[in-house]
Amino acid sequence: MDAERPNGRGAVDDVAGLARRAGQLAGWAARTGIALGRKLPGVETAERGVREVERQLLTELRRRLDEVDDPYHAALTAASAMHRATAPREAGVTLVPVRDNHAEPLRAAMAELLNHSIGFGRERAREYFYAVILRQLTPDEARILSALSDGSPFPAVDVVERTGLGGNGRVVLRNASTVGKAAGVSLPDQVPGYVTRLIGLGLVDLDEEVPSLETQYEILLTDETVREAEKHVRRAKFVRRTIHVSRLGAQFWQACDPSLG
């Protein structure tokens, strides 16, 4: 039964609790605009404390996630261990045992996933899917998702090289956005990468320019990361877009939102 398994329901509940606590810190910092109040007495010290607690919670969260019933992690670890125990030393780095009947780690992992899928109900499958997404997020990306979670759009720009005919040439910067400052991220220069990753995970959508955000676009064009990218092209062109939480992102946040726990 799950109650008797170290990787069963209890571990999942522990992970959910840690996720709520870590997310609550990230969401609170983003929504209260902690980055805007650093000049107030004691705020900088308090912020350092919040970030340290957040770091410890996320470290523990990732450890607990590794203990959740994870077919890929379990199968890959077990198969690799079997190979290390049976393969001759001189074989070097290889995933395929030569003289035994053990399955290759990747094939064993796939078999485990397929076997587990038989017993997965809709809710368990969704929980597993969200856990996999959660494991891939950095603390800064969690802050950005929190800032986007209410559905508000934020400006985004690509910096491209203008061609002789006025068209677009090579892209030197993708998905720069003001959302990083709004969320109070630790690494503002990495915001374009964060946004690109969130788009890749399907949590954030890229959309057309919104004219009502003109002032925010102008602010974004003065961003240090954007201005640095501009130096790498002879004639820069700024392609304006917006970003907002996607349908999947909204569902994921609904499941993980610490304020609802």
The predicted pLDDT at position 73 comes to 53
10 Å Cβ neighbour count for 260?
9
- Whole-number mean pLDDT of the chain? 75
Higher pLDDT, 94 or 164: 164
State the SS3 of 196-243.
HHHHHCCCEEEEECCHHHHHHHHHHHCCHHHHHHHCCCCCEEEEEEEE
**27 three-class SS:** helix
Contact (Cβ atoms closer than 8 angstroms) between residue 61 and residue 18 = yes
Closest CA to 140 of 25, 255, 242: 25
Q: Residue 161: exposed, middle, or buried by beta-carbon count in 10 A (0-12, 13-18, 19+)?
A: middle
Contact (Cβ atoms closer than 8 angstroms) between residue 206 and residue 244 = no
pLDDT tens digits for 154-189? 999 999 998 767 667 789 999 999 999 999 999 999
The predicted pLDDT at position 256 comes to 92
Q: Residue 22: exposed, middle, or buried by beta-carbon count in 10 A (0-12, 13-18, 19+)?
A: buried
Task: Give the domains, in start order, of the chain with CATH numbers.
Answer: 2-138 (no CATH), 142-260 (3.30.110.190)
Q: pTM for the full model?
A: 0.65
What pLDDT band is residue 130 in, cutting at 50, 70 and 90? Answer: very high
The span from the CA of 42 to the CA of 261, in Å, is 30
189: left (phi over 0), alpha (psi -120 to 50) or beta: alpha
Contact (Cβ atoms closer than 8 angstroms) between residue 114 and residue 144 = no
